[in-house]
Amino acid sequence: MAQDRSEKNDTPPTWVAMLLAELDDSAKLPDVARGVWRWSAMSALARWMRQMGADAATILTAAAIENRKRCIPPLTDADLWLIVGDVVAGRVA
């Protein structure tokens, strides 16, 4: 039986990891993102997660995790807030 993501005892990293594991090929992130590609990678992740129905908090959590893992140097928290805010508000196609 699939794990219910809404369970109260499920911690965010677990359900975020489950969601990220479901990325389809069109939303795959590069192993390493440098320079301007950092913004593009995080924006692509945020758009895909929004299309899958994720809320802003979920997207921000996943973006923060992936930002630390893949972006050299990582984007700032303020940059991630801008990306997620734009995606949630529908300002990014």
3-15 confidence digits (pLDDT tens)? 444 444 445 567 6
Q: Please, what is the average pLDDT of the chain?
A: 80
Q: Whole-angstrom Cα distance, residue 38 to residue 8?
A: 33
User: Which sign, positive or negative, has the C-alpha torsion 18, 79, 39, 47?
Assistant: positive
Domain residue ranges of the chain, discontinuous segments joined by +: 32-89
Mean pLDDT along residues 1-28: 55
Query: Would you give the DSSP letter of residue 33?
Result: E
Q: Whole-angstrom Cα distance, residue 20 to residue 18?
A: 5
Report the predicted TM-score, pTM, of the whole model to 2 decimal places: 0.69
55-79 confidence digits (pLDDT tens)? 999 999 999 999 998 899 999 999 9
DSSP H or E segment with residue 31: none
